[in-house]
Structure 1
């Protein structure tokens, strides 16, 4: 019987310094992986998560499922994925620095 091999994205462990890299659940933790790479990765890492998860899953995650990205990462995501609109991104709507009406 052939041993099962774990398919993982080709990302450097430095992006996941606070996790045991060999224990990351790449399928179940996709939101964490995508958010971390959008926030801290370069074009090569973005290309790798798009290859690994698929463009549609990455866009849906950024738009609907990731609860927080810093403002600079939101701007970066908008440049990388032109089909995203800031006003539709949950992480943008959920920002703590947005003005609130206290009345």
Structure 2
């Protein structure tokens, strides 16, 4: 309720609402299960609602978290474009060191 009032005041004064409240988190007044939110978001995704908007609709997610997710997605896309396809699947363990030198290492 306070969020609605602040948004109204922000609109009247032409002040961005986040200046008045800081990092506002999406809170749903009606209780819904996580499965209900997941179902709704999946249906919105099916009609091509942008990911950023879907992230904003998740209860408890702050705008700063959405920005962090956008940054992470951009970093991942840059890595793929740069040829690092493994970055899409998380970090990989370092290969185990071997005692046998490879032929390329013997001549060096």
Q: TM-score, normalised by structure 2?
A: 0.27
- Flag the structure with larger Rg: 2
Q: TM-score, normalised by structure 1?
A: 0.28
**Relative contact order higher in (CA < 8 Å, ≥ 6 apart):** 1
Higher helix proportion, which one?
A: 2
